[in-house]
Amino acid sequence: MSKVEFSPDTLALAQRIIKRYPEGRQKSALLPLLHVAQAEFDGWLSPETMDYVASLLNIKPIEVYEVASFYTMYNLKPVGKCLIEVCQTGPCWLRGADDIVEHFEKKLGIKVGETTADGMFTLKTVECLGSCGTAPMLQCGADYYENLTTEKVDTLIEKLRASDNRSTYMKSNMQEL
């Protein structure tokens, strides 16, 4: 296995992020650096990638693992080109998120946490995505899809099959950092 390292441009971005924080407080850059690492390395964080992030921040790898495993926004195993994250908290649940998840499972032939055989879709449930008034909703890449119905899900699947969502997601997240 090759050594995990950021590209020169991504390393420069990581250094700029780290410099935002006072000396001795570099660990504060952990969340944005995990986003950068996830975008750089195919949408997920391998143990080697997390070790690399720890080395950049001069912290213990376990400190990175604790954070990455806590937040649902970080993927600890490979994901499909289109990561579908369905909100499962109160308002979305009350307005049919479970039905939406079930529809995705039937339509894609996978369960929550799985990826389709073609590597196109991964289905996750996540905690509040902050769009309670338009529940049920999901996030795919940088885009929100709200007021979901099974018909809207079918249309979304068709749209995503025709796009390269991962590159859009990575590009948008890197620009925002």
Mark the binding-site residues for [2Fe-2S] cluster, compressed into ranges: 87, 92, 128, 132
| H or E element in which residue 27 lies | none
Sign of CA dihedral 133, 138, 143, 147: negative
DSSP reduced 3-state for 146: coil
DSSP reduced 3-state for 133: helix
DSSP reduced 3-state for 21: coil
DSSP reduced 3-state for 172: helix
Judge contact between 121 and 108, C-beta under 8 A: yes
- Cβ neighbours for 49, distance < 8 A, ≥ 6 positions apart: 4, 37, 41
Identity at 110, one-letter amino acid code: I
Identity at 112, one-letter amino acid code: V
Annotated binding site: 87, 92, 128, 132
| H or E element in which residue 85 lies | strand 82-87
- Cβ neighbours for 69, distance < 8 A, ≥ 6 positions apart: 76
